[in-house]
């Protein structure tokens, strides 16, 4: 974490340049596909024309992927979790992985180029599409695409004007993780990480809670306000008027006084819960599952306000150096064994629901444990834009970036 501020600021500067160069937004379609939950709003930026493969040729011997930590495992951490070795043996395509800790870092790396694929969340995917950094995916070249959960097949974070720019990979909620020694009863609200208070053990929450180290976390504050201050009129936590946005930023400035650390490294957060006295934070099921398996006194919940979340798609760079191997990986990424093993490892929900049954590592209850039934409660990450659907005009993402950096810096 000692390099966190430097890395974050570098990634955010590049992200701002990306937004400045992005194509103007066009009006969204008046209705959404019935398969997409009401919380998901289509992106409005129309990408520039790009090439799309019509056939897959011989592999180039390599595929380079930007991924969230833990998303592409070859058995080095745990021999039971390996979905790379067989792919390499079957295709002759050697997999190299560059781990990225935030969506802004992923956007920055894709802007640099030299990579084939990226496992992008919705707050990165829309920017990559609008900026012309990813190419249209020919789903006809991916035989397993029809096995993707129908709610994800045409999801707006990877689909624009009927064109697919990504292949769904995994999804999950940003859950409230808490220490069960401190909270004997399950917390029911995000209030415990936003407002200064005394916890059930009689101690203050100052320095014992965390917040996510990324501008998209403004949406978590907005979601909390949407439920607890309905008079603000927030209809979508990613579509905020100036007044709504300013109120969310003020809430985050107040939260700054109690936050012990802004996290983006899952392993450091787990250490903080284990050794540094942190007892409550927004988190991913990945951390929850690992800590519970230790075992540690940890559990999680989706509070009454609901939760933000991530639905990740594997996207292909517009100038991918190894397109044939990239397409081979896109097909491989949807096989039930990989999908189930990854869901067990990361604490996520598979894009291919066939993985929910018969997987030894995930078990037949794993998908429910990881949040399958919470799909309609999640406001999936997306990139805020000025021309929005629920308000006359909204605060765009670059202002989320500058304001959140100021919050973290105590300004």
**CA–CA distances in Å: residue 178 to residues 210, 214, 224, 385:** 11, 20, 17, 33
The pLDDT assigned to 2 comes to: 33
Structural domain of residue 224, as residue ranges?
Answer: 173-308+385-408
Residue 279: CA atoms inside 13 Å, Cβ hemisphere, count?
21
In the predicted model, what is the mean pLDDT of residues 388-395? 93
Residue 360 lies in a domain: yes
Distance CA 400, CA 387 (A): 15
Write the pLDDT tens digit of every residue in 59-97: 999 999 999 988 999 999 899 999 999 999 999 999 999
The tokens of 361 are what?
A: 């590592």
Same domain, 249 and 338: no
Specify if 232 maps to a domain.
yes
Same structural domain for residues 182 and 158?
A: no
The answer on 178 and 156 residing in a single domain is: no
| CATH code (residue 56) | 3.40.190.10
> What share of the chain in percent tops pLDDT 90?
81
Q: Is the pLDDT of residue 198 over 70?
A: yes
281 and 319 inside one domain: no
315 and 304 in a common domain: no
Question: Virtual CA dihedral for 200, 205, 209, 213, nearest 10 degrees?
Answer: 150
Evaluate if residue 20 carries a pLDDT over 70: no
Identify whether residues 275 and 389 lie together within a single domain. Answer: yes
Q: Please tell me the predicted confidence (pLDDT) of residue 137.
A: 97
pLDDT at 213: 94
Is 221 contained in some domain?
A: yes
**Domain-located, residue 123:** yes
pLDDT value at residue 14 = 40
Taking 80 as the threshold, does the pLDDT of residue 241 lie above it? yes
Q: Is residue 248 part of a domain?
A: yes
pLDDT at residue 48, as a whole number: 44
CA 191 – CA 271 distance, rounded (Å)? 23
What is the structure's pLDDT at 8?
Answer: 37
Q: Are residues 23 and 76 in the same domain?
A: yes
Please state, for a pLDDT cut of 70, what percent of the chain lies above it: 88
> pTM of the predicted model, to two decimals?
0.81
Contact predicate 250/241, CB 8 Å? no
- 188, 252: one domain: yes
- Residue 5 is predicted with a pLDDT of 34
| Separation of alpha carbons 408 and 300, rounded Å | 25
Chain segment 100-133, per-residue pLDDT in tens: 988 999 999 999 999 999 999 999 999 999 999 9
What is the arithmetic mean of pLDDT over 227-231?
A: 97
Tell me, yes or no, whether 143 and 26 share the same domain.
yes
* pLDDT tens-place string over residues 273-328: 999 999 999 999 889 989 998 999 999 999 999 999 999 999 999 999 999 999 99
Q: Are residues 68 and 157 in the same domain?
A: yes
Q: How many structural domains does the chain have?
A: 2
Per-residue pLDDT tens digits for 335-361: 999 999 999 999 999 999 999 999 999
Specify whether 158 is located in the same domain as 265: no
Show the tokens assigned to 404.
């959140």
Q: Do 282 and 189 sit in the same domain of this protein? A: yes
- pLDDT at residue 27, rounded to an integer: 32
Residue 380 belongs to some domain of the structure:
no
């Amino acid at each position: 974490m000692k390099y966190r501020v430097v890395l974050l600021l570098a990634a955010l500067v590049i992200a701002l340049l990306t937004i400045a160069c992005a194509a103007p937004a066009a009006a969204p379609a008046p209705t959404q596909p019935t398969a997409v939950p009401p919380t998901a709003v289509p992106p409005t930026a129309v990408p520039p024309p790009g090439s799309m493969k019509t056939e897959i040729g011989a592999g180039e011997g390599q595929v380079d992927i930007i991924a969230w930590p833990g998303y592409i495992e070859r058995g080095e951490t745990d021999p039971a979790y390996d979905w790379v070795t067989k792919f390499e043996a079957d295709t002759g395509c050697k997999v190299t992985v560059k781990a990225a800790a935030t969506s802004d870092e992923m956007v920055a790396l894709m802007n640099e180029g030299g990579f084939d694929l990226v496992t992008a969340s919705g707050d990165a995917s829309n920017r990559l599409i609008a900026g012309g950094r990813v190419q249209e995916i020919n789903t006809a070249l991916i035989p397993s695409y029809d096995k993707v959960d129908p709610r994800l097949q045409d999801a707006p974070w990877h689909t624009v004007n009927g064109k697919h720019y990504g292949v769904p990979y995994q999804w999950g909620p940003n859950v409230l993780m808490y220490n069960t020694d401190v909270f004997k009863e399950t917390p029911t609200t995000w209030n415990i990480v936003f407002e200064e208070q005394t916890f059930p053990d009689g101690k203050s929450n100052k320095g014992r809670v965390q917040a996510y180290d990324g501008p998209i976390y403004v949406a978590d504050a907005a979601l909390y306000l949407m439920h607890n201050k309905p008079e603000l009129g927030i209809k979508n936590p990613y579509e905020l008027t100036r007044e709504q946005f300013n109120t969310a930023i003020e809430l985050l400035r107040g939260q700054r006084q109690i936050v012990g650390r802004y996290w983006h490294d899952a392993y450091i957060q787990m250490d903080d819960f284990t050794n540094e006295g942190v007892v409550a934070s927004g988190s991913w099921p990945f951390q929850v599952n690992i800590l519970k398996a230790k075992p540690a006194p940890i559990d999680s919940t989706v509070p009454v306000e609901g939760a933000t979340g991530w639905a990740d798609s594997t996207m292909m760079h517009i100038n991918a150096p190894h397109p044939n191997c990239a397409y081979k990986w896109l097909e491989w990424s949807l096989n039930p064994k990989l999908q189930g093993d990854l869901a067990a490892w990361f604490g996520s929900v598979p894009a291919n629901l066939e993985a929910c049954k018969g997987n030894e590592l995930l078990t037949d209850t794993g998908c429910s444990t990881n949040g399958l039934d919470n799909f309609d409660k999640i406001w999936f990450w997306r990139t805020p834009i000025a021309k929005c659907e629920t308000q006359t005009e909204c605060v765009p993402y670059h202002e989320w970036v500058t304001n959140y950096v100021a919050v973290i810096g105590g300004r």
